[in-house]
């Protein structure tokens, strides 16, 4: 399976300065044609880091400080703090003019070691073709519209309750990258930004919230485990699986939680769209 890197699909572009990249904030990479989708920001930063250093991302974390509005251009400035024989420590600051949008810290590199192991096991789910399509009801163009997503239901013999049968505090969703986009760390960065959808699905009242192995696969399984909500904040974890049970990435996210408008319908435990 080949194709564009996700950062290319998003519109990330280099400049004459190898330490600076830029991303036009278009409706395709936005939340409801308003502001930059958080996962797109991390994906763009990941692409900039890999493009500048020539090394693959091992780990990255992002702090979102402000919103990049549709129609603006976000510059991404890469700083390499340490570059060793096998590992690079670097950061990216994404900004629109003087307004800082996102700060990303990352480790990049590769070591030759003839050892591969994983300990978590993929949850029991039905295949994507047997699962209910996750419908979107956006009133404007959004990045989520370009992802094919299915509610990954547990088989009857493994049903444990909850929205997708994996227990009260867990939601599983199949997701496929936009057509023509191949596997990469940037692809996983986009898919790792769906913890808010899991929190919104399992919560007992209507809420909204906002904010790396690359074996080819067509469908990814997002195993979302909301940890809880307290003092207006939510936190959760996410694992990204391949269809063959390979663990591709893990993610965690803290989000701001707010009540939904009164006209937003929500029934606890019912599958619904949150992003």
6-109 CATH: 2.40.160.210
Q: How many C-beta atoms surround the C-beta of residue 175 within 10 A? A: 21
Per residue in 171-218, pLDDT tens? Answer: 899 999 888 898 898 998 888 776 666 666 656 555 444 443 344 467
Domain 128-259 has CATH 2.60.40.10: no
Q: What one-character-per-residue DSSP string does 167-194 give?
A: -TT-EEEEEEPPTTB---HHHHHHHTT-
Per residue in 261-273, pLDDT tens? Answer: 765 554 444 444 4
Give Cβ neighbours of residue 96 (< 8 Å, ≥ 6 apart): 25, 68, 69, 72, 73, 74, 75
Q: Where in the chain is the domain with CATH 2.40.160.210?
A: 6-109, 128-259
Give Cβ neighbours of residue 52 (< 8 Å, ≥ 6 apart): 18, 19, 21, 78, 80, 90
Q: Decide which of 120 and 165 is more confident.
A: 165
Q: What is the DSSP letter of 158?
A: G
Q: Name the pLDDT band for 257 (thresholds 50, 70, 90).
A: confident
- Per mean pLDDT, which of 1-10, 183-192, 205-214, 232-241 is the most reliable? 183-192
What's the CA gap between 226 and 173, in Å, rounded?
14
Is the Cβ–Cβ distance between 66 and 121 less than 8 Å?
Answer: no
Tokens of 207: 């809420």
Of 108, 95, 64, the C-alpha closest to 196 is: 64
């Amino acid at each position: 399976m080949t194709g564009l890197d996700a950062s290319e699909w998003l519109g990330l572009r280099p400049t004459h300065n190898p330490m600076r990249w830029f991303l036009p904030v278009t409706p395709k990479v936005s939340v409801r044609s308003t502001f930059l989708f958080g996962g797109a920001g991390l994906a763009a930063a990941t692409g900039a880091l890999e493009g500048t250093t020539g090394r693959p991302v091992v780990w990255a974390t992002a702090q979102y400080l402000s919103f990049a509005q549709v129609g603006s251009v976000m510059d991404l400035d890469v700083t390499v703090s340490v570059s060793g024989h096998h590992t690079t420590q670097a950061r990216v600051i994404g900004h629109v003019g003087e307004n800082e949008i996102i700060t990303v810290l990352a480790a990049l590199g590769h070591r030759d070691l003839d050892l591969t192991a994983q300990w978590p096991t993929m949850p029991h789910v039905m295949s994507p073709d047997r699962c209910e399509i996750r419908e979107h009801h956006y009133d404007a163009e959004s990045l989520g519209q370009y992802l094919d997503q299915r509610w990954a239901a547990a088989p009857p013999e493994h049903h444990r309750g909850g929205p997708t049968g994996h227990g009260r505090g867990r939601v599983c969703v199949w997701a496929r990258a936009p057509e023509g986009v191949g596997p990469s760390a940037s692809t996983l960065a986009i898919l790792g930004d769906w913890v808010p959808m899991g929190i919104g699905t399992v919560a007992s009242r209507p809420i909204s919230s906002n904010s790396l192995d690359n074996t080819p696969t067509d469908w990814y399984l997002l195993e979302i485990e909301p940890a809880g909500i307290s003092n207006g904040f939510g936190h959760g974890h996410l694992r990204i699986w391949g269809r063959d049970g390979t663990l591709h990435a893990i993610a965690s996210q803290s989000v701001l939680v707010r009540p939904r408008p009164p006209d937003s319908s929500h029934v606890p435990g019912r599958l619904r769209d949150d992003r």
